[in-house]
Amino acid sequence: MGFSGFEDKGGEALDFGWRLGRDWWGGGYGFEASAAALWVGRNTFGLKKIIAHSYPENTGSVRIMQKMGMSFLGDSAYNGQPLVVYGFPEEWPDGWRP
Ligand SMILES: CC(C)(COP(=O)(O)OP(=O)(O)OC[C@H]1O[C@@H](n2cnc3c(N)ncnc32)[C@H](O)[C@@H]1OP(=O)(O)O)[C@@H](O)C(=O)NCCC(=O)NCCS
């Protein structure tokens, strides 16, 4: 159906992302899979400083972040396209920077 999980890109933050095949959109699976991955990541593996990126117009993806309790941390960009970055502000007491 797709994936939801974490990628260590070598920085301070751990990247959290998800993607479903189009046939599976709109059924609640994106949130269900991501919330489960977040729970396992934190409670089984002790992951911290988890962030997620999205194009701002990707309402479904941003909504998944919000429903998992993530908040807007700041702006970023990929190939000149603006991105929003969400995470858990309490993990960034000095503020998050790209
Ligand atoms: C983003 C993606 C994972 C969403 O998965 P999904 O299973 O369709 O999402 P869900 O059904 O779990 O919905 C989660 C929330 O987003 C909302 N939502 C989902 N798609 C939406 C859309 N196109 N427009 C507006 N809201 C949307 C849902 O209503 C739900 O919010 P609610 O509970 O308040 O009603 C899926 O569309 C996808 O894989 N897209 C392509 C890849 C991608 O964009 N990946 C993310 C890169 S950052």
SS3 string, 46-62, reads CCCCEEEEECCCCHHHH
Beta strands 14-20 and 71-78 are unpaired
Gap from CA of 94 to ligand 1 centroid (Å)? 31
Say what the pLDDT of residue 78 is: 94
Gap from CA of 65 to ligand 1 centroid (Å)? 10
Report the predicted TM-score, pTM, of the whole model to 2 decimal places: 0.95
What mean pLDDT do residues 14-37 have? 98
Which residue, by CA, sits nearest to atom 43 of ligand 1? 19
The CATH fold of domain 2-91: Aminopeptidase (3.40.630)
Q: CA triplet 16, 21, 26: central angle to 5 degrees?
A: 85
Summarised one tens digit per residue, pLDDT across range 34-90 is: 999 999 999 999 999 999 999 999 999 999 999 999 999 999 999 999 999 999 999
